[in-house]
Amino acid sequence: MKLSLYIAKRYLFAKKSRNAINIISAVSVAGVSVGTMALIIILSVFNGLETLVRSIFNTSDPDIKITATVGKSFVPDSARLNLLSAVNGISCYSLCIEENALLRYGERQFIATIKGVDDNYLMVTGIDSSMWDGEFILRSEQGRPYAIPGIGIANSLGLRINFITPLDIFVPRKSGDSNLNPENAFIRRFIFPSGIYQVEQEFDSRYVFIPLDFARELLENDNGVSSIEIKFKEGTDEIRVQKDVRNIFGKGFLVQNKYEQQEIFYKVMKSERLAIFFILTFILIIASFNIIGSLTMLIIEKERDIEILKSLGADNNLIRKIFIFEGWLISIIGAVSGVVLGFIICWIQQTYGLVRLQSDSLLLDAYPVIMKLKDFIIVW
């Protein structure tokens, strides 16, 4: 084995009589190297994007969200809420109600979703850490209600927190006869903004947060909620708590964890990651066929050397190992160089952020990259 490996190294690094063999060998190494490097970079970028998305969803999504399977809202009874508070592992919960509404600010209009939340909402989510301007304040010390729109809604309406113009909210009236006067078909309330948040483009262009009691009055829904959103304690067994909550509310309610709230998005992201991985792996396999071409030409060139080795007592097995080892050496050199190059490029992107994002709606300026040991092991 040592002899065949030694001869394989001599053949690989020695100068060939035909320059084409040197070129094909170099192309083979480069093909494996580029393919390996691309796999490392792509997997690391997906790791960074997944972490970024999770951090965004952690800001806006609760640990558990309870909604009714039928209808937009439900009335939570006190018995279930008491049982919910007694579940080991639950830190707090927030009652929320949401509905589509027409917003008007000056001469501009925008259709958004108003979300009424109680005072516990900031303990359930981290939305107050993503304020673009102002503060997340639902009520003043005097009890005046405030609204907190997203940056997408604010830009569409030309709204800022220091302006004296109030934000008008219109929702369809659920009671009364409005046939004689169309203006009576809507309930209108005005409210001033206390802050503007920025989380993610779609979320920022959808939700306006308002106090729960203000939303209930606006929607003519005294006791109903659209969802109950729950925050876990540190170190909680999330699966167990989710099971306990399902047992409390029964089959008429949907109890979703963070993954289930964004299940479609995570499945699409996972599918894209697998698809790109298999495509690049296929390209890497095709690039490896250059190794076969290089070995074939080398065998043709070394026919005389093979005859000399046979005359010295070498059998076919030894000669076969020489060229197998040379193929392995080409693959190893290409793979090692690709891993090293991939690591260097990812480190440069992590440190200096040379490749920039072209969107103003995201919180990061550069593509996020996170290297994981398991990706290097898989590629290797």
| Chain centre distance of CA 91 | 26
Look at strands 195-197 and 131-134 and give their pairing: antiparallel
Q: Band the pLDDT of 209: cuts 50, 70, 90.
A: very high
15 and 144: one domain?
A: no
Which range is least confidently modeled, 15-24, 54-63, 218-227, 232-241? 15-24
110 and 149: one domain?
A: yes
Tokens, residue 51: 């972490």
Task: With both helix axes pointing from N to C terminus, report the angle between 316-352 and 2-13 in degrees, rounded to the nearest 10.
Answer: 60
314 and 202: one domain?
A: no
Buried b (16+ CB within 10 A) or exposed e, 352-372: eeeeeeeeeeeeeeebbbbbe
* Longest alpha-carbon distance in the chain: 111
Per-residue model confidence (pLDDT) at position 269:
83
Which range is least confidently modeled, 6-20, 185-199, 364-378? 6-20
201 and 270: one domain?
A: no
276 and 229: one domain?
A: no
Per-residue model confidence (pLDDT) at position 288:
75
Q: What angle do CA 323, 328, 331 make, to 5 degrees?
A: 130
Residue type, 64: I
The structural domain count of the chain equals 2
- Residue predicted with more confidence, 236 or 301: 236
Signed CA dihedral, 189, 191, 196, 199: sign only:
negative
Per-residue model confidence (pLDDT) at position 189:
92
Per-residue model confidence (pLDDT) at position 182:
60
Residue pair 81/225 in contact by the 8 Å Cβ criterion: no
User: Given 194, 227, 258, which residue is the final one in a domain?
Assistant: 258
Tokens, residue 70: 């039928």
Over residues 191-211, the mean pLDDT reads: 93
Per-residue model confidence (pLDDT) at position 263:
85
241 and 139: one domain?
A: yes
User: Cα(117)–Cα(380) distance, rounded to whole angstroms?
Assistant: 50
Which range is least confidently modeled, 91-105, 192-206, 360-374? 360-374
Give 86-145 pLDDT, tens digit per residue: 999 999 999 999 999 999 998 899 999 999 999 999 999 989 888 999 999 999 888 899
Instruction: Tell which residue, 287, 304, 371, 368, has the closest CA to residue 52.
Output: 368
Range of the domain at 242: 63-258
Q: Is 277 exposed, middle or buried (0-12, 13-18, 19+ CB in 10 A)?
A: middle
Per-residue model confidence (pLDDT) at position 83:
92
Query: What is the distance in angstroms between the CA of the first residue and the CA of the last residue of the chain?
Result: 23
The string of DSSP codes covering 8-54 is: HHHHHHSPPSSHHHHHHHHHHHHHHHHHHHHHHHHHHHHHHHHHHHH
39 and 184: one domain?
A: no
Tokens, residue 110: 């925008």
Per-residue model confidence (pLDDT) at position 138:
93
Mean per-residue pLDDT over the chain, rounded: 86
Which range is least confidently modeled, 130-139, 210-219, 262-271? 262-271
pLDDT value at 354 more than 90: no
Q: Band the pLDDT of 20: cuts 50, 70, 90.
A: low
Q: Band the pLDDT of 23: cuts 50, 70, 90.
A: confident
Instruction: Tell which residue, 16, 61, 31, 80, has the closest CA to residue 292.
Output: 31
Per-residue model confidence (pLDDT) at position 18:
57
Residue pair 183/173 in contact by the 8 Å Cβ criterion: no
Per-residue model confidence (pLDDT) at position 165:
86
Residue pair 130/198 in contact by the 8 Å Cβ criterion: yes
92 and 194: one domain?
A: yes
Which residue has tokens 């499945």?
267
200 and 276: one domain?
A: no
244 and 198: one domain?
A: yes
Residue pair 148/197 in contact by the 8 Å Cβ criterion: yes
114: left (phi over 0), alpha (psi -120 to 50) or beta: beta
User: Given 241, 258, 275, which residue is the final one in a domain?
Assistant: 258
Per-residue model confidence (pLDDT) at position 64:
93
Instruction: Tell which residue, 295, 303, 300, 351, has the closest CA to residue 321.
Output: 295
φ and ψ at 93, to 5 degrees?
A: -140, 160
132 and 40: one domain?
A: no
321 and 244: one domain?
A: no
User: Given 194, 224, 258, which residue is the final one in a domain?
Assistant: 258
